Amino acid sequence: MNKTVSRFVIVATLLALLAGAFAFAAPNAKASDGTFNISVYHGINGKALDLSKELPVIATVYKDGAWLAAIPLEFKDRFTADLPAGTYTIMVEAVGVGPVPSMTVGPVEIPEGVDVRLNAQLGAGGTPIIKARVK
């Protein structure tokens, strides 16, 4: 084999290896269907607040200013859904106690293709809060 053919084979082999490496390293992109995934976890044991352990709550969800859903949750419950992108507000009300201002999220614009994780927990001083994470 002459030097030119040899170099061509080496370069072609390296390019093929690099292309294969990039194909496996590329993240799996979600299909663009206009939605995002949300997961809401109720992680507050009501006993820490001198209430029932289950601490039942209603998470009321508004999309673009209009009521979308009311989701009942108890301690350790998780709600997961794919929702259409838009502007969201989530308000939490403890059953028998009323709205919990520190547990309101939004209004916030949520684009398609992201994963949103909301975890209800106790913050500093035992105040119920929602920690949000977007990927």
pLDDT in tens, 29-40: 455 699 999 999
Show pLDDT as tens, one digit a residue, over the chain (135 residues): 554 434 433 433 333 333 333 333 334 445 569 999 999 999 999 999 999 999 999 999 999 999 999 999 999 999 999 999 999 999 999 998 899 999 999 999 999 999 999 999 999 888 999 999 999
What's the pLDDT at 133?
93
Six-digit token string for 71: 């989701």
| pTM for the predicted model, two decimal places | 0.73
Q: What domains are defined for the chain?
A: 35-134 (2.60.40.2890)
State residue 15's pLDDT score. Answer: 35
